[in-house]
Amino acid sequence: MVRDDKKQNQPSLVMLSSFQHLLHILEMESAMNPATPSQKTLLLGGMIILLFFVGSFAFAQVLPEDPTKGARLFVSKGCVKCHGLKGEGGKTGPDLGKIDLGDTQLDLAAKLWNHIPSMIVGMERARVIKPNLTGEELTAISAYLYFLKFFDEPGNPTRGKYVFNEKGCNLCHPLSGKGKEGEPGLDQFPQNISPIFLSQAIWNHGPVMISSMVKLGMKWPVFEGMEMMDLLEFIKANTKGPKETAFITPGNPKEGKLIFASKGCIKCHAIRGEGGKGGEDLGKKAKTLYKSLTQIASSMWNKGPTVLAKMAQTQSGIPKFSPKEMADLISYLYFLHFIDEPGNPINGKRIFSELGCSKCHGLDKKPGVLMNIDLSKYEKAANPVDIVAGIWNHGGEIEKAMKEKGIPWPRFRKGGLADLLEFIRTPKKKL
């Protein structure tokens, strides 16, 4: 909420024009009884949502319901004996809390495969027994590792006080009591306030905030870097409000996908071509959403007026979110990049040949040269990660056989494992 230093009493004409346009739309929407949506509109909206869910079955990786579930497996399966997490844990392997794990699930699995020989050496040195994993367990562990970047380091309340005043928040929200228009003071905010709270506020209170800013001649505040976390730490130091569970527990990405559809987000934003065309295709920019909770929330906040103006013109209007719904939605956006795009079975067939997979895995149920591990059972496999788990479980045998024959360990490039798995899953008569 920054005032113009040169013209404190004259707001930016461009910003005021945008705000006033939005207010005009909102006033018209509330003054008029919205017409009953036509069958054609309902059918179109329903088709978009249906395609969104049906299309997702093409490559049936599963969104996690609890991203922290893998933490328990990370310990119980012995991963922590070799790998630390930000200094806590083993020292044999790399500290997984200090490296970028922002790949898709199968690219993460490919990295795991590429390092199997060195991991076996490290386990033997540390006297750790290599654990077997199911597809479900491997999904949980990889989701947990992917989730490590989601939460920020705590902000700085001293810097937060500066942000609170510099953005103009103090002009509406006093430290205690109520503001001139009844705005809550900081003492009424949730004690465990998080970026989710501000993301929720955009939708639930955005039009009212915009109206107040227009009256005061203020700009919509824009957050950069750690400014939002610093602001929240300052608020925490002054609040006495109730606690909200959804602000401290991780969201459910699987339920967040349902929220994305039910709140109408899918009608404007497509996910890899499935959905509306009014906004950006978030599936195509999924990598940019692999960032911390604060960065995602800041991005949503900064685009608030623009998004609200578009939503106000739709028949469904501006949706409202509960704390849990917003937590789930943000988790879903964060995990968009985690799910791989469907692999190419033709490329997979080439990789199968180039990497020498046929030396262990014959096609058409024929035995391999080194050993016979039948892959036909994986044709039409519902979840490709089940195949990855099988590969991991037999990794020691494969590594030993290849070492004895002097065959170099094959390594996957980005996207290669997805193609190979699609080849394995595809009935060979179709190729």
Say whether both 329 and 386 belong to one domain. no
CA angle 386, 389, 391 (to 5 degrees): 115
Residues 343-361 pLDDT 10s:
999 999 999 989 888 777 7
pLDDT tier at 47 (50, 70, 90 boundaries)? very low
Residue-number span of the structural domain to which 194 is assigned: 13-31+44-56+153-338
Are β-strands 88-89 and 84-85 bridged in parallel, bridged antiparallel, or unpaired? antiparallel
Range of weakest confidence among 82-86, 412-416, 419-423: 82-86
Say whether both 278 and 201 belong to one domain. yes
Quick one: three-class SS letters along 278-305? Answer: CCCCCCCCHHHHCCCHHHHHHHHHHCHH
Question: Across residues 194-198, what is the average pLDDT?
Answer: 88
- DSSP per residue, 334-378: HGGGGSPPPP-HHHHHHHHHHTTGGGTB-STT-B-SS-----GGG
pLDDT of residue 430: 56
pLDDT of residue 135: 92
pLDDT of residue 154: 85
Tell me the backbone φ, ψ of residue 304, rounded to 5 degrees: -45, -60
Say whether both 360 and 392 belong to one domain. yes
Tell me which residue of 180, 234, 235, 184 sits closest to 205, measured CA to CA: 184
Domain boundary among 338, 365, 386: 338
CA angle 251, 254, 255 (to 5 degrees): 70
Say whether both 274 and 206 belong to one domain. yes
pLDDT of residue 427: 78
Q: Over 60: is that where the pLDDT of 39 sits? A: no
CA distance 268 to 83: 42
- Is residue 8 one of the residues assigned to a domain? no
- Is residue 311 one of the residues assigned to a domain? yes
Q: What percent of the chain has pLDDT over 70?
A: 82
Domain tally, the chain: 2
- Environment class of residue 184 by beta-carbon count within 10 Å: exposed (0-12), middle (13-18) or buried (19+)? middle
Q: Are 188 and 177 in contact (CB under 8 A)?
A: no
Domain boundary among 319, 338, 357: 338
User: What is the torsion angle, in degrees rounded to the nearest 10, for the CA atoms of residue 107, residue 109, residue 113 and residue 118?
Assistant: 100
pLDDT of residue 357: 83
Average pLDDT of the chain, as a whole number: 82
Question: Across residues 253-279, what is the average pLDDT?
Answer: 92
CA distance 47 to 275: 9
Range of weakest confidence among 14-23, 80-89, 128-137: 14-23
Counting every residue written for the chain, the total comes to 431
Say whether both 352 and 334 belong to one domain. no
CA distance 167 to 421: 51
pLDDT of residue 368: 66
Domain boundary among 281, 315, 338: 338
Residues 368-377 pLDDT 10s:
666 666 777 7
CA angle 226, 228, 232 (to 5 degrees): 120
Say whether both 273 and 363 belong to one domain. no
Q: Are 335 and 412 in contact (CB under 8 A)?
A: no
pLDDT of residue 405: 83
- Is residue 362 one of the residues assigned to a domain? yes
| pTM (global) more than 0.85 | no
pLDDT tier at 364 (50, 70, 90 boundaries)? low
pLDDT of residue 166: 96
- Environment class of residue 4 by beta-carbon count within 10 Å: exposed (0-12), middle (13-18) or buried (19+)? middle
